[in-house]
């Protein structure tokens, strides 16, 4: 499945949210957001899964009749938020309405020129593929609450989730390709067994 082939599905999901009054266009750039968030009346800037939480500058501007696709579209979290829950192995993880409003904020669901975002595309594509278990890194734990909310708003099933530990270097920094971190193949070439690689992310061979 390629995202480049999925534009109609993403647009349909956006249209559903737009028709329910849950999206609004945003004309702010990064500098605008940083300036608004750091204004004295806003207090200390807050950060969420997507970085600096959007202060809602465009939230109350008049919406056009038709959904625009040439502007970023944000989820109006004050309208969209509901209490959610997902299963993480043998426990339930709950997110309250207030957690979404103050801890996540009005996230972007469609970027200019893309017609989607990571959050929207992964939710729509997982449902299309009938995914029942999602295994991802612990760095995406907070993003999972966003995905569960979107599943509820779009009437899509919620899979079970498992968030594994991250492989880190000697200083505790997580390994990432953007930092030229070593690939798993490098560990394997040095003789690390699959079980040892699993152990790096906190998974025992029996659980794998």
Instruction: Kindly report the backbone phi and psi dihedral angles of residue 137, in degrees, each rounded to the nearest multiple of 5, phi listed first.
Output: -70, 155
Q: What is the pTM of this model?
A: 0.81
- Whether 208 has a pLDDT exceeding 50, the answer reads no
Task: Identify the pLDDT of residue 34.
Answer: 86
d(CA 23, CA 76): 6
Task: Specify which of 127-136, 177-186, 196-205 reaches the highest per-range mean pLDDT.
Answer: 127-136
- Region 32-47 average pLDDT: 76
Instruction: Kindly report the backbone phi and psi dihedral angles of residue 190, in degrees, each rounded to the nearest multiple of 5, phi listed first.
Output: -85, 5
Task: Identify the pLDDT of residue 100.
Answer: 95
Long-range contacts of 151-156 (CB under 8 A, 24+ apart): 151/123, 151/127, 152/82, 152/84, 153/17, 153/20, 153/22, 153/80, 154/13, 154/16, 154/17, 154/123, 154/124, 154/127, 156/123, 156/124, 156/126, 156/127
Mean pLDDT of the chain: 87
| DSSP E strand boundaries for 69-191 | 73-75, 84-88, 91-95, 108-110, 133-137, 160-164
d(CA 198, CA 208): 7
Q: Which domains, ranges and CATH numbers included, belong to the chain?
A: 3-164 (3.40.50.620), 167-208 (no CATH)
Q: In what order do the strands lie in the sheet with 108-110?
A: 23-25, 73-75, 108-110
142-167: pLDDT as tens digits: 999 999 999 999 999 999 999 988 87
CB neighbours (10 Å) of residue 56?
Answer: 19
Please check whether residue 116 is in contact with residue 3, taking contact to mean a CB–CB distance below 8 angstroms.
yes
Position with higher pLDDT, 47 vs 206:
47
- Region 115-142 average pLDDT: 94
DSSP states of 48-79 as a string? ETTEEPP--TTTTSPPPSSPPSSS-EEE-HHH
47-98: pLDDT as tens digits: 889 999 999 999 999 999 999 989 999 999 999 999 999 998 888 999 999 9
Task: Identify the pLDDT of residue 45.
Answer: 76
- Whether 179 has a pLDDT exceeding 60, the answer reads no
- Whether 174 has a pLDDT exceeding 70, the answer reads no
Q: In 3D, which of 7, 5, 100, 3 has the Cα closest to residue 48?
A: 100
- Bridge-partner residues for 52, per DSSP? 47
Task: Identify the pLDDT of residue 32.
Answer: 85
């Amino acid at each position: 499945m390629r995202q480049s082939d999925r534009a109609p599905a993403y647009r349909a999901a956006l249209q559903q949210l737009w028709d329910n009054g849950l999206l609004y266009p945003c004309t702010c750039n990064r500098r605008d957001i940083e300036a608004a968030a750091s204004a004295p009346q806003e207090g200390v800037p807050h950060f969420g899964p997507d970085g600096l939480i959007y202060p809602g500058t465009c939230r109350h501007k008049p919406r056009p009749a038709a959904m625009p696709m040439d502007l970023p579209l944000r989820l109006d979290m004050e309208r969209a938020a509901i209490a959610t829950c997902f299963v993480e192995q043998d426990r339930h993880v709950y997110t309250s309405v207030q957690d979404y409003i103050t801890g996540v904020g009005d996230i972007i669901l469609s970027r200019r020129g893309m017609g989607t975002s990571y959050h929207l595309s992964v939710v729509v594509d997982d449902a299309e593929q009938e995914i029942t278990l999602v295994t991802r890194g612990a760095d995406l734990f907070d993003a999972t609450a966003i995905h569960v909310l979107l599943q509820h708003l779009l009437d899509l099933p919620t899979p079970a989730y498992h968030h594994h530990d991250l492989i880190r270097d000697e200083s505790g920094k997580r390994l990432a390709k953007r930092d030229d971190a070593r690939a798993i193949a490098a560990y394997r070439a040095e003789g690390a067994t699959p079980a040892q690689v699993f152990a790096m992310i906190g998974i025992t061979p029996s659980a794998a």
